[in-house]
Amino acid sequence: MERARWLSADLTDEYIIINLAGYDLWMYKNGQLDWQTDIIIGKINSKTPLFKSRISYLVVNPTWTVPRSINREIIGKIKRDPDYIEKKHFMLKESSGKAFNIDKIDWQSVNPKTFKYWFVQKPWKNNALGQVKFIFPNRHAIYLHDTPTKQLFEHTDRAFSHGCIRVKNPIVLAEKLLARNREVSIEKALNIQNDKLAKQGKQALELASKIKSKARLGGIAPLTNTALLASTDLSSIDIQPITIPKQSPVTSSTADELLTQTIAAGDTQKLYLDTPMEILIMYWTAATNNGELTFYHDVYKRDNKLIDLLKRPLVSTTRVEKESTIKL
């Protein structure tokens, strides 16, 4: 609860809470817990930070610009397998954004520490960011995103990423965020996508139909279980692990269609939210559940440090001001 006190002030009636220690994402609507899904967080050596922000837009069919910190890993794989860069649909870009010819690189002589180009992965089915990512301003370059490695969600402890947060059901999350937009905004964006698909021809329209059919069969569709209700009082939120995500139906079929058509178009596009959604990234290792205390694994080993700080004697603000005045 001490961690909640740091960041939880002034939340609106609609917001997302992420509990890193519980590997959970909760979406609140009208002050009630509307939907939940599992997440993957940063590894021990690349911890996901705690902060508060607002999701302002989605990127559909995203490219992935590889962080410099991962260059050594990528270059090592290319040295072992020269075809790796093509297999994974990477291209190279200069700092200016201009594309650079991959064939000009002698990979066996490349030093990752001095490598000046950027790896950029093109949109495709196994792009590291999947089909959609969710952008919110922050100084840590953290965002939510889809992932092709769905099998990692089968693990209990899921600290596998380089810092960003992978979402188990990103399509449902995207639909729910877009459904908050005004109908006129959704229809305007949908018309743009339909025009793109029409210009691309029959194959693109068939792809959109297949995506929609898959959604109806449960492949990427929202589940329709009864919504789980919870108090907006942070001290009483139930953060006990939930085996089966409790979800409410997506309320806008046009939002569903917009996302489906945008994915089918194939190119990288931004879909803006009329009203940004607040997001609160927290780290709760203990919480009350129906009056009982529930504990989570302290995967980042943060509790002891916080407990030590809380045990320190309080220092009077007046005393500090007086001492500062005397020193001056």
Q: In whole angstroms, what separates CA 218 from the centre of its chain?
A: 21
Whole-angstrom distance, CA of residue 137 vs CA of residue 114: 29
Digit-coded pLDDT (tens) for 118-160 = 999 999 989 999 999 999 999 999 999 999 999 999 999 999 9
The torsion angle over the Cα atoms of residues 103, 109, 112 and 118, rounded to 10 degrees, is -10
Question: Is residue 232 very low, low, confident or very high in pLDDT (cuts 50, 70, 90)?
Answer: very low
Task: Name the percent of the chain lying above pLDDT 90.
Answer: 61
Give yes or no for a contact between 306 and 95, defined as CB atoms under 8 angstroms apart.
no
Select which of 89, 145, 155, 297 is catalytic. 145
* pLDDT at position 223 over 50: no
Active site residue 162: no
Q: Which of the two residues, 200 and 169, has the higher pLDDT score? A: 169
Name the active-site residue from 89, 140, 155, 164.
164
Residue-range domains of the chain with CATH = 2-63+123-295 (2.40.440.10)
Based on its alpha-carbon atoms, the radius of gyration of the chain, rounded to whole angstroms, reads 23
Condensed to tens digits (0 to 9), the pLDDT of residues 58-86 reads 999 999 999 998 999 999 999 999 999 99
pLDDT of residue 301: 87
- 3-state class (DSSP) for residue 76: helix
Contact 242, 36 (CB under 8 A): yes
285 CB contacts (<8 Å, ≥6 apart)? 21, 295, 296, 297, 298, 302, 303
User: Is 297 annotated in the active site?
Assistant: no
Q: Which of 129, 131, 263 is nearest to 207 (CA)?
A: 263
Yes or no: say if 39 and 155 are a contact pair by the CB < 8 Å rule.
Answer: no
**pLDDT bucket at 248, cuts 50 / 70 / 90:** very low
Residue (of 277, 280, 296, 278) closest to 234 by Cα position: 280
The predicted model scores a pTM of 0.78
